[in-house]
Structure 1
Amino acid sequence: MIGTSRQAIRKPQLGIAQRIDKALGTDGIFERLCRKLINDRRYADYFVEVVELERLATRICEFAPTAIPGLLQTPDYARAVTLAANPFVTDDYVQDIVTARVERAHILKDATRPEYWVILHENVLRIPVGGAEAMTSQLEHIARLMRERTAWVTVLPCAAGAHASINGALKLMAFEDAPPVAYTETSFSGTLMDDPAVVKRAQRAYDLLRVATLSPEASLALIESMAEDYRRCASTT
């Protein structure tokens, strides 16, 4: 990308978007997306560039230590996490956030969809966000994407103990004609990084996490088993 590591605290800059278009020969794609996102209040200021880049990535790798990643969230799960963080907002606000999250996931349905790799910490599966019924649907959704080979999801088990230290969620994005970037996020801020040395360190941390995960088959079996547990719990309430 253009520039060095930076705190992603502003909305996309038109000038930077135009420079990216010129460097990559993308015929104004970045500029058009930038203009659209600048006025989109459904995303935090520090996240809008990430949404823009997700649409252009050829590979996305995520580590989710505390919540299901947005690209995998069902509407009920997205609604529950939105309300948990914003208990006094209007229903319209919540619906806008949920709709935006569902729209982001459309990139996984495109013919040119990116390779999508996800590491879920086991704790993410065990936290009943939205209740048992919502978690049943959420885990069934993930299992379906795994069986369809739309997403490659593995689980980092609690039994793995200490693992590569990553401060919050991590997203790595690779592109056909541009250097990769890394994005880390905590509760109130996000940082988009394109310094090659920093991105290389983030990739190494992700690789260390990946070797500590369950196999894809064991991960799918655990996710489906927990979906069944939630289903039984929902049927008794």
Structure 2
Amino acid sequence: MANGSRQAAWEFFGIELKRRREDAGITQVELGSRVFVSGGYIGQFEQAIRKPQLDVAQRIDGALQTDGIFERLCRKLIDDPRYADYFAGVVELERLASTVCDFEPTVVPGLLQTPAYARALTLATHPFATDEFVEDRVAARVERSRILADAARPVYWAVVHETVLRVPVGAPEVTAETLEHMCVLAGERKVLLQVLPFSAGAPANNGALRLMEFEDAPPTAYTETSFSGSLLDDPAVVQRARRAYDLIRGAALSPEASLALVRSAAEDFRRCASTT
């Protein structure tokens, strides 16, 4: 589904939600209290500003007795073949976040990847994929990264493990270009970049970790391993994830020292590329 068609479908979701709510004779605040979100949240759903998570859509069906229509719509709209099932909801929330904090232990964060890096990473994980599949994944990664060029872009903080700077993805020049790209974005103050060095020892979280904050909604956390991911909104769990991220950030090098290390690693890959 193209982006324009997807947005139009979310607008239909909102219009239908408003109609069903008003037919039931309840306010946004009343519906919100029944499905454990704020009334303002319901208003954002109805205006297609924010997309509900699947469990919220299911609770809306229960509150309005709509026989699963909002669950079915939600499942259809978050089903984007360019993303794993467990990540599609993260992409929707990413576009609305006021602050995004990433920790990546093994690869460059998606928002900082170059097309060549994204292509090499996709081929590494899908060695028998068709060209169309690979290019769809690359296009999706590039599309996501455009939020950093937006004037209303989120505050973005990324911590990467030093492993990310040492393990090549694709040819040496591909990794060099990507590390240089990270430095450019940091220099343009589109990302606050830190590196967790080998000397820091074991990180407070072993897998990828993301925190997202919003202007008018509770924060969420996302954790990921090789074949699965979990979007978390329980306040106690999100708080634990925040503490883990704070520990990682506290153990990381300063932004200045981190940038110097990234530049040095990029130069190493450039030298490697020139000798091959």
2:128 match: 88
* TM-score for the superposition, normalised by structure 2: 0.76
Structure 2 unmatched ranges of 5 or more: 1-9, 18-31, 53-72
Matched, 1:178 2:217: yes
1:222 match: 261
Matched, 1:54 2:110: no
2:22 match: none
- Map Cα deviations across residues 9-50 of structure 1 (whole Å, 9 max, x no partner): xxx9x69x9677964222123359968843521011111100
- Map Cα deviations across residues 186-233 of structure 1 (whole Å, 9 max, x no partner): 111100000000000100010011111111110000111111111111
Candidates 18, 28, 37, aligned match of 2:48? 28
Return closer, same or farther for 1:23/1:141 CA change in 2, 3 Å cut-off: same
Three-state SS of the structure 2 residue aligned to 1:153 is strand
2:80 match: 40
Q: Aligned partners of 2:184 and 2:76: how far apart in 1? A: 32
- Map Cα deviations across residues 72-130 of structure 1 (whole Å, 9 max, x no partner): 11111111111111111101100000000000011111111000001100011100111
Matched, 1:196 2:196: no
Return closer, same or farther for 1:71/1:34 CA change in 2, 3 Å cut-off: farther
Q: Identity, % of aligned pairs?
A: 63
List structure 1 segments (4+ residues) > 2 angstroms apart after TM superposition: 17-26, 29-40
1:4 match: none
Return closer, same or farther for 1:122/1:31 CA change in 2, 3 Å cut-off: closer
C-alpha contact (below 8 Å) 1:116/1:152 kept by paired residues = yes
C-alpha contact (below 8 Å) 1:42/1:96 kept by paired residues = yes
Structure 1 unmatched ranges of 5 or more: 1-11
Q: Aligned partners of 2:98 and 2:76: how far apart in 1? A: 22
Candidates 144, 165, 173, aligned match of 1:104? 144
Q: Aligned partners of 2:88 and 2:39: how far apart in 1? A: 21
Q: Aligned partners of 1:37 and 1:142: how far apart in 2? A: 32
C-alpha contact (below 8 Å) 1:21/1:28 kept by paired residues = no
Query: More relative contact order in 1 or in 2 (CA 8 Å, sep 6+)?
Result: 1
- Map Cα deviations across residues 125-146 of structure 1 (whole Å, 9 max, x no partner): 1001112110110000000000
* TM-score for the superposition, normalised by structure 1: 0.88
C-alpha contact (below 8 Å) 1:136/1:227 kept by paired residues = yes
- Map Cα deviations across residues 145-179 of structure 1 (whole Å, 9 max, x no partner): 00000000100000111331x24100000000000
Q: Aligned partners of 1:215 and 1:28: how far apart in 2? A: 39
Matched, 1:65 2:93: no
Q: Aligned partners of 1:98 and 1:22: how far apart in 2? A: 37
Q: Which has the higher helix share?
A: 2
Q: Aligned partners of 1:37 and 1:134: how far apart in 2? A: 34
Matched, 1:133 2:153: no
**How many Å apart are 1:235 and its aligned residue?**
1.1
Aligned pair count? 223
C-alpha contact (below 8 Å) 1:34/1:52 kept by paired residues = no
TM-align CA RMSD: 2.3
Q: Aligned partners of 1:135 and 1:98: how far apart in 2? A: 16
Return closer, same or farther for 1:34/1:151 CA change in 2, 3 Å cut-off: farther
**How many Å apart are 1:236 and its aligned residue?**
1.2
Larger gyration radius, structure 1 or structure 2:
2
